[in-house]
Amino acid sequence: MNLNSISLPESDPEATRMFSYSTISLMLHIPNSSIHEIASNRSSAVRWLNLHVVPFHPRVKISTISVGNDVNPLSNLSNYVLPAMKNVQEALRQVGIRNISVSTTFSFARVMTTAFPPSSARFQVSAMEALVKPILNFITATNSSFLINLHPYHLYRCQPQIPIGFALFQEEPFNFREDPLTGLRYRNLFDVMVDAVISGIESQGHRGVPVVVTETGWPSSDNTGHGDAKDVYAEMYVKGLVRHLRSGLGTPLRRDGVAEVYIYELFDDGGSPSSKWGIMYNNMTQKYNVDFSSSATSLVIDLSKQFALSMIILYLIPRGSDGNAERSSIPLPLQYLICLMKLYQTLIKPLPDVNAAAAANSSFQISIYSY
């Protein structure tokens, strides 16, 4: 499984350190709870960087820092997002780092008025005035990207007239919808939603802004018991998404497509009764095989070795005097991944550029969002 990027919504120095010398790039997140403090005092931004970024740069490839995730534009916190972003940007310059971009993450459901037709899509007025418009000016000035969580599953559930095949990238002769204003034909719901975001951005006078989909996926189970949340549909969605991105067709409105896509999520949350979105169970075994590379090699993990690998990873997790795994703020599945990186670094230092050949022949980026 070639992982090009991983998003760490709960940034932890221990987790970040384990990606030293790897070819995997990281997106780090500043939690909503820290936005007010960082917006009020630039020294707080410097302290956050000194803990989460400076000790590891450039050995760890950190590409982006998202200041907050899905902040409610009607909340008082929305007034502090842009000042916090500016302080983080200035703090990066202060510590001599200029190759990490700063942005914030929006949610499609929270900021967009509609998805179809894409050419008519606009940002909600409250979101545009409080957040989107000033942040678009910032990311344009700093050459950053527009980050957005985009889940066709949620839109499909809200609009039952949408065919399930349209949401799951099923290629059928008449499985398309035509934008009546542009005449562009859409063959999947993902492209509809991406182009709705692009139309909203361009309506504010910003063209060519890179769009990064920071979350997308399909649940294999749902705590509401919804019948379309199941393994077979989750597999169809993820494989269809990868196939679509690999095609290099982009979207009808933007031939270059999105800059990056983060699949939500790598592991199920084993301790939660909520929906299960992971492409792997929380014991690090795969639910289904997915090829995230752009070449014909290294297609899937060899599941015959999975048990032995799990035993090695479990052994590497620190244990207390009672023989039980020590408590950690890092979720257990992510501990597995960290220990795998630790094992890999022990055997091979520095990590080889295993994705170099694939990246040279690739027009898309597949990434993983990990809790």
Tell how far CA 99 is from the center of its chain: 19
pLDDT confidence band for 348 (50 / 70 / 90) = very low
203 vs 274, more confident: 203
CA-based diameter of the chain, in Å?
Answer: 68
| pLDDT for position 349 | 43
327 vs 28, more confident: 28
CB 60 within 8 A of CB 26: yes
The C-alpha angle 301, 307, 309, rounded to 5 degrees, equals: 65
Dist. CA 69–CA 83, nearest whole Å: 15
pLDDT confidence band for 291 (50 / 70 / 90) = confident
How far, in Å, are 26, 56, 335, 349 from residue 21 at the CA level? 12, 10, 18, 8
| The two structure tokens encoding residue 188 | 């999947």
pLDDT confidence band for 175 (50 / 70 / 90) = confident
Q: What integer is the mean pLDDT of 350-359?
A: 37
What tens digit of pLDDT does each residue of 56-91 get? 999 999 999 999 999 998 899 999 999 999 999 999
Q: Closest by alpha carbon to 24, among 347, 360, 366?
A: 366
Name the helix (H) or strand (E) containing 62.
strand 61-69
Q: What is the DSSP string of 212-273?
A: EEEEE---SB-TT--TT-SHHHHHHHHHHHHHHHHTT---SS-TT--SEEEEE-SB--TT--
Q: What integer is the mean pLDDT of 217-233?
A: 83
| pLDDT for position 367 | 54
| pLDDT for position 311 | 37
User: What type of residue is 162?
Assistant: I
Dist. CA 245–CA 257, nearest whole Å: 8
pLDDT confidence band for 264 (50 / 70 / 90) = confident
With 80 as the cut, is the pLDDT of residue 203 above it? Answer: yes
List, in order, residues 6 or more apart from 151 with CB less than 8 Å away.
108, 109, 215, 216, 217, 264
Q: Closest by alpha carbon to 325, among 312, 316, 333, 337?
A: 316
* Residue linked to tokens 């992510």: 334
Domain covering 5-369 in this structure, CATH number: 3.20.20.80
What tens digit of pLDDT does each residue of 83-132 get? 999 999 999 999 999 999 999 999 999 999 888 999 998 998 888 888 99
- Can you tell me whether residue 5 is helix, strand or coil? strand
| The two structure tokens encoding residue 62 | 């950190």
Q: Give the pTM.
A: 0.81
